[in-house]
Amino acid sequence: MRRMFFLGYACMACLLLTTACGEEAAFRRWERDWEKTPRPVYPTAVEGVIPTAAEIGNELELYRELAGRLHAINPSALDENKRQRWTRYTAELKAALESREYLSTDPAAFHIGGTLAPLLEGDSGKAAQRMQRIGECLEKTPAYYETAKQLLKRPEPARTLEAIEKQLQTLRLLRESLPVQLAAASLDEATEQRILEKAYQAKLAVKDYLAFCESLHFEQQRPRHSLFSFIRKPHLADICQLPAPCIACGPHPLETNDVGVLESFQHSSERAGPGNQR
């Protein structure tokens, strides 16, 4: 009996050890995949290449797959150090998912002015470096807003209004602040001309996105009626193709004639009798 007890205990210990080893191995594989996963900074427009909407969709699916694998690992089977990393990775994945999922509902998330404003208000002693970054930002603006329009599927009305205001602010920056900074930077004519050309294309992209947001806002403000709200419920008299009877005048003449014809037919049948009917 005692031997059977120890044998069962040993089997249970082996099972727990095997499970723990499996969780540890799964966690190590997950960590290696997470380290190789790109984590771009979009929708910031200066750093990195502007991704397409399809690329962002692929990133979102990858993050979801990694989240599923991470949550399938039992953290209680890991050692203390790995449990802490598991918790940190969970928070990082949540932030990565949120940074992609909200892009389909928030038109105000796309705001090139948020990147431009700090650059246009910087120290004049670093004008050359700032103008280079401003030029990069302006160059990426058309692709930036093109991706934004493709990503937005379920825009929130309140955020649409904020997006409109943000684009108006960006246009003011390009119209008022950028020329001042260009004049203060004392760039050579060719460099200044390149920045002005990029600024022109950026303005067109901002105006296009502004019109896109205004169109969204217009659609969101339109009253939405059910198809059936336009269908009038028919009156019984309409169905019968008869005017409604008047209480004072009695039944409609056509109704009276119908009754009279029916009664005369019944009387003639009774007079004829069963033997006289053919």
Q: What ranges do the domains of the chain cover?
A: 27-104, 109-221
- DSSP-assigned letter for residue 249: T
Could you report the per-residue pLDDT of 228-252, keeping only the tens digit for each?
Answer: 444 554 444 444 444 444 444 455 4
Could you report the per-residue pLDDT of 73-129, keeping only the tens digit for each?
Answer: 999 999 999 999 999 999 999 988 888 888 999 999 999 998 899 888 766 457 778
Say which residue, 12 or 163, is predicted with more confidence: 163
Q: Which of 69, 213, 196, 200 is nearest to 142 (CA)?
A: 200
How far, in Å, CA of 120 to CA of 87, rounded?
40
Q: What share of the chain is helix, strand, coil (3-state, %, to 5)?
A: 80, 0, 20
Examine the pLDDT at 254 and tell me if it is beyond 50.
no
Q: Which of 69, 7, 77 is nearest to 37 (CA)?
A: 69
Examine the pLDDT at 218 and tell me if it is beyond 60.
yes
Examine the pLDDT at 156 and tell me if it is beyond 60.
yes
Q: What percent of the chain lies above the pLDDT cut of 70?
A: 69
Q: Six-digit token pair at 59? A: 């990133």
Mean pLDDT of the chain: 78
Q: Which of 109, 100, 102, 120 is nearest to 167 (CA)?
A: 109
What average pLDDT does the segment 240-268 reach?
47
pLDDT given at position 259: 46
Q: Which of 88, 84, 82 is nearest to 24 (CA)?
A: 82
Examine the pLDDT at 172 and tell me if it is beyond 50.
yes
The 10 Å CB-count burial string (b at 16+, else e) for 31-69 is eeebeeeeebebbebeeeebbebeebbebbeebeebbee
Examine the pLDDT at 15 and tell me if it is beyond 50.
no
Predicted TM-score (pTM) of this structure: 0.67
How far, in Å, CA of 177 to CA of 229, rounded?
52
